[in-house]
Structure 1
Amino acid sequence: MKKLVLAYSGGLDTSYCAHYLSHEEAYEVHAVTVNTGGFDGEELKEIESRALELGVHSYRAIDAVQSFYDRVVRYLVFGNILRNNTYPLSVSAERIVQAMEIAQYARDTGATHIAHGSTGAGNDQVRFDLIFQIMVPEVQIITPIRDNQLSREAEIKYLRDAGIPYAWEKAKYSINKGLWGTSVGGDETLKSRKPLPDHAYPNPLVKEDSQTVTLDFTKGELTAVNGKKDTPVANILKLEALASQFAIGRDIHVGDTIIGIKGRVGFEAAAPLIILKSHHLLEKHTLSKWQQFQKEQLGSFYGMLLHEGQYLDEVMRNIEAFLEDSQRKVTGRVFVKLHPYRFELEGIDSKNDLMDASFGSYGELNRGWSATDAKGFIKILSNSGRIASQIQGDS
């Protein structure tokens, strides 16, 4: 039998693939779930049970939460990356790491085929295929849903006819949870007019008061929440548990897909948005204006390439080196106030704060230069404009 590794989530599409490839195509299917923060232990047991019932030869769950942070999330923070100034790249970033883990597993186990449940209408097909073709070019990619243009109804009928008794009907809202946020899709996101209702989001409003939280960053990484030190991954989870009670981080992202159509998706990302905005504020105090300028360009470029599945291009390692080096002085504490549905950044405290009153206070007092110095500086600064105006005039 031909050995095939299937990227398996336990949903309808990958369940169809598991049964179809095992029974109809006679592959030796090895189902693999890559956890980037969306599953707990009980959920993974249920996914394993379903995979074995569908007829796979073996099942493996790979814990890639730390790998996800090390490879991608830390650079999203360093770059303050929000796609279209809105979306923290929750799902797209996960897919890259999931694809790499699947490819590595296929290589390690000597698989000749690799499969995923993507349709032909989304971004994930591009991300998975790109990674697979670069990392394991000798392995053949199988995509039954895309290749056969299957509808959900056709998949459900096939599984029911095969005696698989699960309730496969699509939930009103699709939820995709991970370490770096949760995406939410529904009928409202298929068109341009309507917002998602409150009940579509996974975390309802629990707290209606206000609460101040402190975030400590060390060289750009979140190292403590409310003064308690822990790993960045643990701190992200702690902040998410706290801030999600305020229903913070809800929005709808509208963007250009890799395949050239517009897409609209809701998301809930309390911790990612608070971390990114807090980190950005700390950088405003600790980095030079030219560091900030270059970071904005490279961060945006990094996010675009990541979104489009180009993570393995060597330019990404070049950008990561710049982003990491830029964080040498980004250490300090940020004070954040949480409110229902929103948060505000109150201020920072850092030994590297360049807003040092000993040099002067903006709009108030100058201590490092005289009035004569200021007049001369401004006169020289006006030279290029003054020369152009006198020689060329309004023409």
Structure 2
Amino acid sequence: MFWRMVKGALFRQKGKMLMIAFTIALGASLTTAMLNVMLDVGDKVNQELKTYGANINVLPKGTSLLDDLYGVEEDSGVTGQYLQESELGNIKTIFWAYNIVDFTPYLDIQVTLPDQNKETKLVGTWFEHHMELPTGETLNTGMKNMKNWWDVSGQWISDQEENAAMVGSLVAGRNNIQVGDTIVVENGGQTKELVVKGIFNAGSDEDERIYVPLQTAQKLAERIGLVNSVEVSALTTPDNELARKAAQNPSSLSIKEWETWYCTAYVSAISYQIEEVITDSVAKPIRQVAESEGAILEKTQLLMLLITILSLIGSALGISNLVTASVMERSREIGLLKAVGAHNSPISRLILTEILVTAIVGGVAGYFAGLGFAQIIGQSVFDSAIDIKPMVIPLVAVLVSIVTLAGCIPSIRLLLSLRPAEVLHGR
């Protein structure tokens, strides 16, 4: 009898029930979309931000110490400290190897151009370097990936072009250098002719430099197999109190804290692991980049959480109005039930069951619509699909139930206040 009454009420008020189902579906779809995107947005935002450069700088210990104590920079040429190029593949063997997006080494030397008294920095680096890793895997990494926002006139050079160079826009403008020109650089009595294959505008002090393949700089500086810094681009987790504590002194952590920190992709943890595999190195997070990434990620997730909360509040208000209107329309029916002996409790259960059945239909429809919305957001914002998170299903189910019950509270209060004699007389 109870379910016959529920079925009858649903069909008699199908228009209003469809409106309630649509309201719930709208809230559920936005909740599903935002939760899926929010849970997947960390990697997506990090991946987007990685296109704007490195967030870890690896230096020799001696260089790092002089920089900390006396402000001597790694490219000043006074430290005489270097890293071994042969060890760089070890970066992809750390615990968070899959979070290492790109890395590239640098060897900085000071050179002079003809008729120029001022020295210019020449930087040897990898452009698109193919390397065999200690794990047996292969990797293509280098400047072309890490600096892909550069505005390049001409073309990128390859690591095999030992007589080619890319010149910064400020150096090119000051020396009237054009793409295709041949320039002569001198370092310590050694000269080298280079063909300018590209002129780039980086919008930073890199525009004051000349970039050449790493082996070219090594031969010119007589530093075969050596580099003086490595830039690493890694996907990281925003810092929290534990990460900041570890960054100051990892040895101050308890065993449990150390395990949690080491096994989480904090920029300080990845830096620590890099130091473990590169001899006599210090890996320094580029704090401005790392903290900006964390701030952007937190604000993005907060925005999505606010949208979710507002959509649920809107759904609750809509459900409240619709259910209250339904109870008022059925006031004589409810009054008659009370008049023949029905108590408030079974009548409330009847109304709640009708709404919950409607909520299940709307929630299921909203969930699948939300998956579609999530993919639209992923393709339009990140140009990639959003991973479907199974944990969203129970979250949406619980939230839809809470919102539905919260929206029914005003109508249940109205139902409890109805007096059979008054409603049956139309008062």
- Is the TM-score greater than 0.5? no
Q: Which has the higher contact order (CA 8 A, sep 6+)?
A: 2
TM-score (norm 1): 0.24
